[in-house]
Amino acid sequence: MRRRWLEDAVKASKLGATPSTRFPRDLAEEVEIHLPVFLVKIPGLTTHQIRDWLAQRDIQVDAPQESRAIHGCMVAEKEHGFIFWDSRDPVDVQRFTLAHEVAHFVLDHLLPRMKAVGALGKRICEVLDGDRPPDIEEGLSAMFKRIPLAQVKLMDRDSSGAICVGKVDASEHRADRLAFELLAPADRVLPILRGVPRKEGVAEMASRFGLHPEEAESYAQVLLGPKHRPFSIQKYFSEEEEE
């Protein structure tokens, strides 16, 4: 069973309204139809290439001082998003990168914005867009209703690219989970994994849904748990003895 937040994210993305029957999924085509997102492929993508591409269009972003290579990135600007990815990456890596960045747009920008507008009215967009600070009433309402009025900075990494902010780490895990769901819905994957050796099921899943083998293994662990579960003495006792 999918968690509520995951169901809400799939619904908000509009990418699950008419579930795909063709896999691997051509997510780029669907994203351009359903989401206010611009897709940008750049060979040998770096953080400074993203900064410069946006600067040419009068969009300023905070980028690390030292340029570093990345697979992909999402930048939100008001109600729109820009998704960048490295066109030199293998096709399966590009596929997951796009899904991961789409997930960031939905989870970290679109859904919080929808929640804020629903609770505080459309005028709150002026605050979300950075045009003005929130007034006292808006600030208190947002605090009590747990509505974020500022975005998580997902490029907060050290010079090596390692995540260095707890909120960013949590956001990455959620984006991965939604990306998996968009590319390979759990209700399609579980029948493939069950009743066969893990290695065989993961290979079949990777082939059918166009996932990199390492990503397919990670997804299998999300759905089925780790291959080797930790030792537990409970298995040696019957239910009556445990009670």
Instruction: Indicate whether 220 pLDDT > 60.
Output: yes
Contact 25, 200 (CB under 8 A): no
Q: How confident is the model at residue 159 (pLDDT cuts 50, 70, 90)?
A: very low
Contact 99, 176 (CB under 8 A): no
Q: How confident is the model at residue 238 (pLDDT cuts 50, 70, 90)?
A: very low
User: Average pLDDT for residues 144-165, to the nearest whole number?
Assistant: 53
Instruction: Indicate whether 233 pLDDT > 50.
Output: no
User: Which pLDDT does position 20 carry in this prediction?
Assistant: 61
User: Average pLDDT for residues 186-204, to the nearest whole number?
Assistant: 95
Phi-psi region of 118 (alpha: psi -120 to 50; beta: other; left: phi over 0): alpha
User: Which pLDDT does position 151 carry in this prediction?
Assistant: 58
User: Which pLDDT does position 239 carry in this prediction?
Assistant: 42
User: Which pLDDT does position 21 carry in this prediction?
Assistant: 67
CA atoms lying within 13 Å on the CB side of residue 179: 28
Question: In sequence order, what are the residues at sequence separation of 6 or more whose Cβ sits closer than 8 angstroms to the Cβ of residue 67?
Answer: 46, 47, 48, 49
Enclosing H/E stretch for 31: helix 27-34
Could you tell me the pTM of the whole model?
A: 0.83
Domain ranges of the chain: 18-162
Which phi and psi (to 5°) does residue 169 adopt? -60, -45
Average pLDDT taken over every residue of the chain: 84
* Selected residue with higher pLDDT from 230 and 151: 151
Instruction: Indicate whether 224 pLDDT > 70.
Output: yes
Helix (H, G, I), strand (E, B) or coil at 6: helix
Structure tokens at 17: 């309204």
Which phi and psi (to 5°) does residue 156 adopt? -75, 85
Q: Give CA–CA dist 143/59, Å, rounded.
A: 29
Place of tokens 């611009």: 38
Enclosing H/E stretch for 101: helix 91-105
Q: Which of the listed ranges 113-122, 159-168, 226-235 does the model predict with the highest average pLDDT? A: 113-122
